[in-house]
Structures are given as structure tokens and as C-alpha cells.
Structure 1
Amino acid sequence: MRLQQGVLLKNRKCRTLCNKDEIKAKIVSAFNLQAGLEARRSQKLYRHRRVLSSAQGSEVIVDGKPLLAFCSNDYLGLASHPAVSEAWRKAAVHYGTGSGAAHLIVGHSRAHHQLEEELAEFTGRERALLFSTGYMANIGVVSALLDKQDAVFEDRLNHASLLDAGLMSGARFYRYLHRNMDSLIKKMDRSEARRKLVITDGVFSMDGDTAPVMALVHETQKRDAWLMVDDAHGFGTVGLHGGGIVELQKLSQKDVPVLMGTLGKAFGTAGAFVAGSQELIETLIQFARTYIYTTAMPPALAEATRVSLKLVQNESWRREKLNDLIGYFQQGCQASNIPLMLSQTPIQPVNIGTAEAAITISRHMEELGVLVTPIRPPTVPEGSSRLRITLSASHTREHIDQLLDALRKTMKSIAVSQGGKTEDDTACCCA
């Protein structure tokens, strides 16, 4: 009898151990991360980080190699401006290297406050509020303004941070066809939501085209909806004083109640801001979790950005030079039958087609000393992989000539290897 009990007990322990092993195996199987990584590799979508060992600029050192760079968002060449760097250094001596706390604790310095006031004046809004990143600004704003009783309407090609913000807000989420007002109007008119918020990029980051903001203003006001514009790529580059698409189109706070901009692109520093009415900014201070529950940006960064903001407004020659380079590059592409997508901004995408071809061309261009980033799904739709070429005021016409020469050589070699066809024969050059 004792022997039987011992055997039964042993069997129970064995079954318990076996069950634990099975559970462990299932957990390992459920978190089989390697499978996802291998799938991304096989689809030619695997991303790699490059190591920059020089300052940002037109000529950089990446992974130990000197290269001519056409993939930075430093559109006005301010990321390495001596006055901006010196402002950061001086402020770091005064304030220290970090803010030490969230804005609502003891992290909101005089430097932050002054920058917010200057950004409000720059954008023609009552107030502005700093965020650590553009991603955090977008998520914080949309979540603070909307809940499940509301609806958000977004352009299909909006930045990932805006799409995530819409999904995370809990509001009913609609995506309309790119720059298509009929698509937006149909979705808005079918909605019975309490609040309706339409969100668009000012300049679309992967295509370089701009939003039909005048039409968006008209349709949102007609329906008592609000319009939010993320002009991350427009600030600094668009408008007489770099005020972005709202300055170009002379749009007021009433026209665009929520305006977001980033500081890590044309301004050459880091961070983001939201500008709007007194009530909007106070609402964000009280309810935007990405503002409340994070450490404030370093005060030295705010001081550096104050200098950068003055340069953006006062040195209009940077925008003039940038626009000259855009035109020069477009003429070269047209003469060489390079399939350039339509854009009048510093973002000048060359349509390639497949991810594999985009990677191959990018690699060949790097061998010729030119750094251009291939953009692939899921960032862009399947079959529309491209080279995202970005121009800067720090470039010269000689740099553009080198870029065009590298494009001609690499695209010709790819066409020969494919029997004389490029990846997208239907893509048209710029007008």
C-alpha cells in the first residue's frame, strides 16, 4: 500500500513537472522573437543603425567613412551652428546639464518659459507649450482632447506618431484618402461624434507634398470641428520667416486651433511644442500625460533653441539658398529622367518600387561616397519604396552635382541588370 502511494505521489510530481515544462515551452513559443526578426530580414525590411562620429552637416563620417549626406532633417544647417552650440554651453554652465524634474514639479526653468513665449509670438498664437519630442506632443494632445464619445479623422499618410495618437486616444478613428477632401467630408458627415478633430501633417515626411490646409480649414469650420496641423517639416523651411504652412497661407489660431512643431529638424536642436489658445495650453498642462509625467528637456537645450529661433527668422538667405538647391536638383533629375516624386520642399523622394532595389541603389550610392536612405514598408506602402533625399542650406551646387552623378550611375546599372527597365517606369519627373 505504501509502495502504491509512493508511486502515485511520484507520478503526480512527474506530471506537475511535465506541465511546468509544457507551460515554459508555450511561453518560449509565444515570445519567439527570432521568427519576427527573420521574417523582416527575408522581406528586405530589416533596419540597421549607423554610427555617426562627426557633427551633423553636409559632409559626415558614418561607420568610419567620410560621406556626402542627403538624409538629415537639418534643413537650414543649424545643428552645428557656432552660436547655437555656444548658447547651449553657456546655459549648461548656468543651469547644469539636466532639468532635474518634470515641468510641474521644479523642472520648468526661466529658459523654458522664455522659449515658450517666443514660440507663441513666432506662430501668432496666444501661448505655446514645450514637449520632449514630437511623438510625445502628438500623443499628449490627442489623448487630452478626445475620448470614446469623440472622433478623429486623419490623412492616411500622416506620421506614425499621429496615427498612434489617434488609436491611443480611445476616440473613433477614421483615415481618409491622402489629400482627398471628398473622402474626408463623407467620413465626417457620417459621424455623430460629440467632438470632431481633423489631423494632418503640414508637409508629409515621406512624400514631401503639402496638405490642402485652406480646404481643411473651410470644411472643419463648416462642421464645427477642430483642425490640428503637425508642421514638423514645414517650420523653418516654409513661409517668409520660416513660420511654416500656417504663415504661408496666413492661417490664424481660429483657423488652426492646434498647431504642433518640432525643434529637431530645421531648428537644429531637439524637442517639440504645441501652440494655440490659452484654454488649449492650460488643458494640456492639466491633462496631457506625456507632458505631466516626464522630465523636462534640459534648460540648456531651451536656450540653444532660443538662439536657433532667431536665426530661423532673421537669416532668410538660408531658405532662399535651400529653394535654389531644390530647383537645381529638380532640373537635374528632369534632364536625367530620374523618377522624382512631386515636391517643392526639401524632401525630394526618388521613386524606386521594391524594397530590394531601393536598398541596392542606396548601397551603390554609398560606394560612390553619397549617403541616401532607402525608405521601405511599413513606413511607405508596398511597392513604393524610395530614396528619401533631403536637401539642406548647408549643401552647395557642387554637392548636388555629386548627388545627381551618383543617381545616374546607380540607376543606370540597376536598369541594365533588369533588362533596361527601372523599378517604376510610370513614375514621372518633377515639372
Structure 2
Amino acid sequence: MTRIAAVKGRRVWDSRGNPTVEVDVVLEGGALGRAIAPAGASRGTREAIDLRDGGDRLRGKDVARAVASVNGPIAAALVGREVADQAGADAAMLALDPSPLKASLGGNATVAASLAVLHAAAAGAGRPLWQHVAEHYGTTPSLPLPEIQIFGGGAHAGRRVDIQDFMIMVPGARDFDEVMEITSAVYFAAGDIMARKGRLAGVADEGGWWPQFDSNEEALETLVAAIELAGETPGDRVVISLDIAASEFGQGGRYRLALEDREMGSQALIDMLGGWLDSYPIASIEDPVGEDDPEAMAAFTRRFGDRVQIIGDDYLVTNAQLVDEAAAAGACNAVLVKVNQAGTVSESIDTFRAARGRGWGAIVSARSGETEDVSISHLATGLGGGQLKVGSFTRSDRMAKWNECLRIAERLGQGAFVGGAPLAGTWWGARQKETT
């Protein structure tokens, strides 16, 4: 009754109106697991490839080939397998595709199928997904600290500003619900400031305010003002998190800030970001330099790694081997875990474990092209991952995931919220230790 009886792929649509892949996995006993593949706009060169059809139809973005991968070779490999054997199911799919980036089957096909197997196993066992994840992988579940976008930028906002995400975290909140309440106040305060300046222009891909700024630093200044307008003291309960996504505007150690019409080398970029760290309550920074600039990433980590969380995204692409290599080189101290970046649940868990084994942070993350799928809320909770990055505080594809965490909180109890624990190694954590 716990063997996979059927696998069905179909085309559905994501938050940008683009086609994507949904997979149903049905067990002999009738239990159903379902998952949808997300898609990123800012993508690392070493992450799993979304298989698209090309050509003129649907701007080349149709997924008929990826759906065919699900309904053909993937289904044949999975039907009859014990659903609880997640590693075996993922290995069976990987054996079908000789390409390192899943270009033959499509990473969008494999990730939807892999997550659907995980959901089916939980459904078959009659338990919520977060609990299945915790029991299957031997982890202690906890409600993660959200990382929430207030201003979108970079590839998420027509490159109106160079920096991709201006976000907040609320490590000083009592519980997950208070995080949502404080974030709501900051989010709408930011909108009020933009409206007063005559710069309110809608929202970006992930729901953050569309950035109408004359410089990248003006976004930081406005974010601090929004925190204050919301009645909070910047750096007290509320801190700032940035996704620089430097690979999007840099190559070969040269970086061009288009908004400010200036170009700089790695050291100048590091100095600029260091100035921001000195001037603003920033507790976390993602991809501060490009994925092709490893020496600069190590230099940034040496200089600032004892005061700020330094996350590898495009630089590490949810790859356990790259985490090990980066740790050996002294680069980064945290990894972003995007299941579709790796292509399967098992590879993502391997990356999570590699990071934790190094004493690193691990942030489970959504993509800019999202859906109603809430798998990552359960993964972040079940793994006890500590942090969850979903996007902003508007749009149903984002709010579905935050709201799912609130439902999970009712089962786990508010005492399961990690609060500021993931930021213990930052200046914020040091200050909290001094005041307690």
C-alpha cells in the first residue's frame, strides 16, 4: 500500500504567468503527493536547468518536453518503488540523466517529481510534511526566522536598481506571528514613504515595492526610515538583510552599477559593502561578489565573517561539494538551499547537512517564479533549518508559504520559533548576548 502506483506530470502556470511542471505521485493505497517546480530569474551557471521547449510558442518557455520526461522515463523509474525511499527514488531519476545539470530530463521535471514523492510519503504515513521530514531525516523541527523582501531589485525589478533584494528580519520577535505583524508595519510604512515622494510604482516579481531610487544606497536609507516609521528601532528587534546577487552585474572581478553609472573592481565593491555594514543594521548579506570571483568571496568572508552572515547562492547553487570547497577556502558561512537549484530533495538535504557539518547557517529559499506550493515551509520547519526566505509580504504565492508556517506553528507551539538564534554569530547576536 506504500508503493508508488502512478506518476502524472502536467503543465501549470507560475507567478509570472510562465508554464511550469506539476507532478502527482499516487500510492497503491490511494494517498496523493503533489508538487510544483518553481523557476528563478537570477540563476547560477551551475544550477539544474529548467527544460523549456524553445521556439516561438509561449516565448519559448513551454514545458512539454519536461512534462514528457515525467510521464515517460521518470514515471517508469518510480512506479513500483517504496515511497519512503526518497534517496532511492532520487537516485533512480539521476541515473536517467547523464548531464551534470539535468539538461536531458529537466531540473523542473526532477524537482517536481522528487518533491511529490516526499509529499506522497507523508500523506501515506498520515502525518504533515514537516513532521515526515523531521522523522525521516532525524532532525528537530522548529519554526524558522523569516527573511522578507521590502524592496525588489536586480533581475526581479527590471534592474531598476543593481542590488536584488532589500529585506528585513525580525530576530527580536516573540514568535512567528509577531514577525508577520512587525513586517506588515514595515512593509506598508515603506509604501507610505514611497507614496509621499511620488515614487510609488507598484511591486516587483516577489511582491516587494518597485524601486524608484537614484542610488542603491538610497534604498537602504529608505528601508531604515520605514523601520523607524513602523515604530521600531533599526538594529533592535528588526535588522536588514541584503541579496547583492553580484553575478548579475559583474564578471571576471569587474562590477558595473548601472543605476549609478560606475564600474569597480572586487576590492572597491568589498569596500563599498563594508561601508554599508558600518552604516546600517545589516545582519546578513548574500552573494556579495560574483560566482566567478572566489578569491574576493574569501576576502569578504575574512574581513566580515565574524560580524555578518555571508550566504552563498549563485556561488554555491545548493551543491554539497561546492559548500565543502568554499569552507576549505574560507569563503561564506551560510548556504541558500533551493531545491530546484539542485534538482532533487536528496541533493538539497546533502547540501543542508554539509553546511551544518561545517557550523554554517542554512536558509531554505523560494524562487522569483513561484506558485501555491508550500513545500519549502515544511522543509524549513522539519529540518530545523532556522531560516526561510520566501520573497515579500504580498502576492498569494508568497503569503501561502508564510500562512502555512502560521498553521504549522499551531501544531508545534509558539515556543518552537527559533527567534534570533540563527544570527547568534553576527553583531546583532553579540549585542543581544551583552544585554542579557
Report the TM-score when normalising by structure 1: 0.31
Pick the structure with greater CA Rg.
1
Report the TM-score when normalising by structure 2: 0.31
